[in-house]
A and B are shown apart, each in its own frame.
Chain A
Amino acid sequence: MPDSLVVLAVMAVITFASRLLPFVLFSRTRPPHWVATVETILPPLVLWLLVFYSLSNVAWQIAPYGIPAFAGVAMTVLAHRWKHNSLLSIFSGTAAYMILTRLLG
Chain B
Amino acid sequence: MPMATAIVMACLLNLRHSFYGLSLLTKFSGTRWAKPYLIFAVTDETFALLTSIEEPDPSVRTQLYVTISLLDQLYWVTGTLVGALLGTAVPVAIAGIEFSLTALFVVLAVGSTERIRSLVPLAVALATTVIGRLLLPSSAVLPASIAVGTGMLLLLARHADHA
Inter-subunit contact B102/A69 (CB<8 Å)? yes
Complex interface: chain A residues within 8 A of B101 (CB): 54
Inter-subunit contact B103/A72 (CB<8 Å)? yes
Does B64 have its Cβ within 8 Å of any Cβ on chain A?
no
Inter-subunit contact A43/B99 (CB<8 Å)? no
Complex interface: chain A residues within 8 A of B1 (CB): 4, 7
Complex interface: chain A residues within 8 A of B17 (CB): 15, 18-19
Complex Cα–Cα for A34 and B48 (A) = 20
Inter-subunit contact A42/B103 (CB<8 Å)? no
Does B80 have its Cβ within 8 Å of any Cβ on chain A?
no
Contact of A53 among B9, B103, B115, B141 (CB under 8 A): B141
Inter-subunit contact B18/A18 (CB<8 Å)? yes
Contact of A21 among B21, B99, B109, B128 (CB under 8 A): B21
Does B146 have its Cβ within 8 Å of any Cβ on chain A?
yes
Q: Please tell me the number of chain A residues within 8 Å of chain B, measured between CB atoms.
A: 57
Inter-subunit contact B99/A72 (CB<8 Å)? yes
Does B53 have its Cβ within 8 Å of any Cβ on chain A?
no
Whole-angstrom distance between the Cβ of B109 and the nearest chain A Cβ: 4
Inter-subunit contact A46/B146 (CB<8 Å)? yes
Inter-subunit contact A39/B153 (CB<8 Å)? no
> How large, as a class, is the contact surface on chain B?
35 or more
Inter-subunit contact B25/A47 (CB<8 Å)? no
Does B60 have its Cβ within 8 Å of any Cβ on chain A?
no
Contact of B18 among A22, A48, A91, A94 (CB under 8 A): A22
State whether A39 and B26 are in contact (beta carbons under 8 Å apart), knowing that A19-B40, A44-B122 are contacts in the complex. Answer: yes
**Quick one: which of B133-155 are within 8 Å of A by CB?**
133, 138, 141-142, 145-146, 149-150, 153-154
Inter-subunit contact A15/B14 (CB<8 Å)? yes
Complex interface: chain B residues within 8 A of A34 (CB): 154
Contact of A80 among B110, B141, B142 (CB under 8 A): B110
Most-contacted residue by chain A among B110, B116, B158 (CB, 10 A): B110
The 5 tightest CB contacts between A and B, nearest first, are A22-B21, A48-B125, A47-B109, A18-B14, A44-B121
A-B contact pairs, 29 of them (CB 8 A): A7-B1, A38-B22, A38-B154, A41-B116, A43-B112, A44-B109, A44-B115, A44-B121, A45-B124, A45-B125, A47-B48, A47-B108, A48-B125, A48-B126, A49-B125, A49-B128, A49-B142, A49-B146, A51-B102, A68-B96, A69-B99, A72-B102, A73-B103, A73-B106, A76-B110, A89-B107, A94-B100, A98-B94, A98-B99
